[in-house]
Each structure stands twice: as structure tokens, then as C-alpha cells.
Amino acid sequence: MKKTFVILSVLIGVLAWNPSNGYPEANRIPAQFRGKVIRSRVRYFPYKLLALTFDDGPDPRNTPIVLNALKKYNAHATFFVIGSEAIHHPELLRMIVAGGNEIGSHSYTHPAHPSPAQAIQELDKTAAVIRKATGETPVCYRPPYGIIHNSLTQLALRRGYAVFLWTISSADTRPVSVMTLANNVIHTPNPGDIILMHDGPGHIRTTQAVPIILSQLTRMGFKFVTLPQLLQAWSAWERSHPRDMSRSMDRSHSYRLR
Ligand SMILES: [Zn+2]
């Protein structure tokens, strides 16, 4: 009886991690970040790496402009796409991946408080759209409105997604000028910061600010990486500086390091 239980448990475990079931392939995310909320940069992290993130796309007007700017500066970013938009633009998803960027899930319809049943649809449908267009299963998730206390984020955590908030907001959802928006990012970064921006419909000013941000911060010696790359760098640094990292690590559900 006990043996049967063990075999069943292992079988369920294997099935749960089968990417074809809509679960994330977690191997690109270091183990300590899987199923965790990441809301702060790692304190004392010394490398001038930044993670630009773009939510609410893809958008046929804005996303290609952002991609071109990234390419020009040999920069990479993470795009948290909305599934119901992405399904109409598989070519944009392929362009994002072709540029060496990461695609994360930002749900299917951007709900604030979906039911548990809807939450499953929100995650599975978006993962399916991304996988169909690119062959890759998303491992990163950003909650709509940054809400982590709802059924959707809790499900994403149980599924093993790395759930990302941000450490710097460009405030590009507010009616500010392009220069203000750019300066919100340029004047504040520390190594390892995660920057919130938007490439969805209507965010033309963001596309104008991105080249300014890339130009200035590249000149200051920063490099722009995807979120899995940033986590891998954090993880490598943790292995070489275990004492520093343990001081800066919250042992509970999430990383609160700043
Ligand atoms: Zn959003």
C-alpha cells in the first residue's frame, strides 16, 4: 500500500512538471526562485546588470520599436504578454524570442481577482499561446496590477513560476513626459534592479524613452539582461558569497532584500 502511494506520488510529480501540461519548464530558473515572489533586488549584488520588463503587450506598433532599440544596444529584456493579445500576434512573440529576449505570462485577460477556475484558464491559455508561437513554455509570471494575494498568483506560485514584481517603476502609466519617464529609470538604478515599463497599446512615450534609457545607462556601464539571466547571476553570486546572501535573504515566501 505504502509502495503504491510512493509510486503514485512520483508519477503525479512527473506529470505535474511535464511542460506539455502547461506547467513551466523550471530549469532556466534557479531552484531557490521557483514558486517564489521576487519583489526586491539582492542587496550587495555587485554586477551592473539591469532587467527591463515590458507589460501588457505585445502590440504591433510599440513592441517592434522596443525590440529594435534593444537590438541596437545589444540589450535583452523580458516581455510579460497578455495571452488574449498575444494570440493575435504570434509573429511578435517570435520576434521577441529571436532577439534573445524572454517572454513571461501576464495572464490571459488581465483580471484583478479571478475565481480559482478562471485562474487555471488564465495561466494555461497564455502558456499555450506562447508555446504554440515560439515552442517555449513561460517560466516567469507577473501578476496583473501587481496583485499577489489572489487565486491567480497563488496558482502561478504553486505551478513553480518565478513571480516578479519590480524594484523600479518608470511610472509610464501616468501622464508624464518622455524625459520624466526616462529619468525615472536613469537616475535611480542599482545593480540588479528590475524595471517596470509597458509596451502595450497607447504606450508610445515608453517606446520613445527606451532608447534614451538604453543609451545613458549603457554609457554608465550597465548591461541589460532577461529575468532568468538576472536570477542566474544572483544565484551564481550567492554560491560565491553565501554569507552576504543569507544576510539579505528573507526566509519566508518571497525575496524582500532591499
Ligand atoms: Zn498589466
Residue 177 above 50 pLDDT? yes
pLDDT band for position 244 (cuts 50, 70, 90): low
Ligand 1 mean position to 67 CA, how many Å? 19
Residue 245 above 80 pLDDT? no
Question: Is residue 8 a part of any domain in this protein?
Answer: no
Residue 88 a catalytic site member: no
Mean pLDDT of 152-174: 96
Return the pLDDT at 25: 57
Return the pLDDT at 170: 93
Other beta carbons within 10 Å of 161:
28
Cβ 193 vs Cβ 49: under 8 Å: no
Residue 12 above 50 pLDDT? no
- Higher-pLDDT residue of 150 and 7 is 150
pLDDT by residue (tens digit) across 77-136? 999 999 999 999 999 999 999 999 999 999 999 999 999 999 999 999 999 999 999 999
Ligand 1 mean position to 78 CA, how many Å? 13
Question: Is residue 157 a part of any domain in this protein?
Answer: yes
Distance between CA atoms of residues 191 and 40, nearest Å: 11
Mean pLDDT of 39-54: 92
Instruction: Return all residues near 76 (Cβ < 8 A) that are at least 6 apart.
Output: 70, 99, 100, 101, 102, 224, 225, 226, 229
The tally of domains found in the chain comes to 1
Ligand 1 mean position to 245 CA, how many Å? 31
Return the pLDDT at 166: 96
pLDDT over 70, % of the chain: 83
Q: Write down the residue that cell numbers 477556475 correspond to.
A: 117
User: Dmax over Cα atoms in the chain, in whole Å?
Assistant: 67
Return the pLDDT at 16: 43
Distance between CA atoms of residues 130 and 35, nearest Å: 20
Question: Is residue 137 a part of any domain in this protein?
Answer: yes
Question: Is residue 171 a part of any domain in this protein?
Answer: yes
Distance between CA atoms of residues 194 and 216, nearest Å: 17
Question: Is residue 86 a part of any domain in this protein?
Answer: yes
Count Cβ neighbours within 10 Å for each residue of 205-221 and write b for 16 or more, e otherwise.
Answer: bbbbbbbbbbeebeeee
Residue 102 is part of a domain; what is its CATH number? 3.20.20.370
Domain that holds residue 194: 37-255
The active-site residue, picked from 76, 89, 198, 203, is: 198
Q: Which of 183, 167, 216, 200 is nearest to 52 (CA)?
A: 167
pLDDT by residue (tens digit) across 184-220? 999 878 999 999 999 999 999 999 999 999 999 999 9
Question: Is residue 13 a part of any domain in this protein?
Answer: no
Question: Is residue 150 a part of any domain in this protein?
Answer: yes
Return the pLDDT at 207: 97
pLDDT by residue (tens digit) across 17-32? 444 344 455 578 999 9
pLDDT over 90, % of the chain: 77
Return the pLDDT at 65: 98
Residue 193 a catalytic site member: no
Chain centroid to CA 111: 18
| Mean pLDDT score across all residues of the chain | 87
Question: Is residue 23 a part of any domain in this protein?
Answer: no
Q: List CB-based neighbours of ion ligand 1 within 5 Å.
A: 55-56, 144
Return the pLDDT at 26: 57
